C-alpha cells in the first residue's frame, strides 16, 4: 500500500485556522491533533497544576498553565516556509517575570516564548517519540526542564539541556525540578497516588 504524503501548510496558515478540540499542533508543516485526554491524564494534569500553583503562584515565582499554545518561529531555518512549531504542552510553567503581558499589564493571549518547564502526560494512544520531540524542541529554545509522565508504567522521564535524560520509577525517588521551583518536592509515589480514588 502506498502512503499518501501529508499536505504541508505554513505556520501562518496554521495559526489562521480555527482551534480544535482536542487541540491540534503544528510540527514541521503538518497539523497533528492531540488525543482526547482520558481519566488518568486529566487527573494527573489537574492535581499537578494545583500542586505547582499552590507552591509557586502565591509568592509570584511561577505559574502553571494547562493546554497552553506556545508558538515558536522558524528559528534556524528562515527560508523554510514550513518551519517552526506551535505546540500545546499538557502543562507549561512560566517564571513570573517571563509570562507574556499586554502593554496594560494583563496576560497576553499569544505565547511566543518557550516555557521554563514543559510537562507532557502520555496518553494511551499517543506517540512517545512525537511527545519526546516536542520536549526536545522546547529545550532547544530555552526551556530549563521537560518531564514526560507515563502513567501506564508509573514512571517519569526528565529532560534537561545538554544532559542525558533520566528515568524515575522507584516510589521514593524524588523528582528533579527546575532551580526556580523553590519548595516543590514530589516523589514518584506521590505523583501517581493522585490516581487512586478511595
Report how far residue 191's alpha carbon sits from residue 17's, in angstroms, rounded to the nearest whole number. 36
Per-residue pLDDT of the chain (198 residues; tens, 9 = 90+): 444 456 888 888 888 889 888 888 888 788 888 888 889 999 999 999 999 999 999 999 999 999 999 987 655 444 345 567 888 999 999 999 999 999 999 999 989 889 999 999 998 888 888 899 899 999 988 999 999 999 999 999 999 999 999 999 999 999 999 999 999 999 999 999 999 987
Question: What pLDDT, on the 0 to 100 scale, is given for residue 83?
Answer: 60
Does 25 map to a domain?
no
Report how far residue 167's alpha carbon sits from residue 155's, in angstroms, rounded to the nearest whole number. 7
Does 19 map to a domain?
no
Distances (CA, A) of 105 to 45, 75, 88, 97, 111: 28, 28, 24, 12, 14
Cell of 53: 500553583
Supply the CATH number for residue 156's domain: 3.90.1570.10
Does 105 map to a domain?
yes
Give the residue from 109, 75, 85 showing the smallest Cα distance to 27. 85
Does 131 map to a domain?
yes
Does 26 map to a domain?
no
Report how far residue 127's alpha carbon sits from residue 76's, in angstroms, rounded to the nearest whole number. 26
Strands 166-168, 145-150: pairing kind: unpaired
Chain-centre distance of CA 190, in angstroms? 20
Question: Which range marks the domain in which residue 187 is found?
Answer: 35-193
Question: What pLDDT, on the 0 to 100 scale, is given for residue 82?
Answer: 54
Number of structural domains (the chain) is 1
Distances (CA, A) of 24 to 83, 86, 111, 158, 180: 16, 9, 16, 24, 30
Question: What pLDDT, on the 0 to 100 scale, is given for residue 81?
Answer: 53
Which position has the grid cell 507549561?
92
Amino acid at each position: 500500500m502506498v502512503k499518501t504524503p501529508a499536505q504541508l501548510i505554513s505556520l501562518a496558515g496554521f495559526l489562521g485556522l480555527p482551534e480544535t478540540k482536542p487541540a491540534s499542533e503544528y510540527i514541521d508543516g503538518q497539523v497533528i491533533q492531540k488525543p482526547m485526554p482520558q481519566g488518568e491524564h486529566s487527573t494527573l494534569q489537574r492535581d499537578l497544576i494545583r500542586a505547582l500553583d499552590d507552591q509557586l503562584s502565591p509568592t509570584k515565582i511561577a505559574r502553571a498553565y494547562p493546554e497552553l499554545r506556545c508558538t515558536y518561529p522558524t528559528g534556524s531555518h528562515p527560508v523554510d516556509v514550513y518551519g517552526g512549531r506551535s505546540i500545546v504542552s499538557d502543562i507549561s510553567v512560566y517564571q513570573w517575570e517571563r509570562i507574556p503581558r499586554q502593554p496594560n499589564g494583563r496576560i497576553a493571549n499569544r505565547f511566543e516564548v518557550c516555557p521554563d518547564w514543559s510537562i507532557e502526560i502520555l496518553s494511551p494512544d499517543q506517540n512517545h517519540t512525537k511527545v519526546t520531540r516536542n520536549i526536545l524542541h522546547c529545550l532547544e529554545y530555552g526551556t530549563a526542564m521537560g518531564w514526560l509522565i507515563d502513567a501506564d508504567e508509573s514512571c517519569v522521564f526528565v529532560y534537561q539541556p545538554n544532559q542525558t535524560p533520566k528515568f524515575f520509577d522507584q516510589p521514593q525517588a524524588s523528582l528533579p525540578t527546575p532551580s526556580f521551583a523553590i519548595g516543590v518536592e514530589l516523589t514518584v509515589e506521590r505523583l501517581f497516588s493522585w490516581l487512586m480514588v478511595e
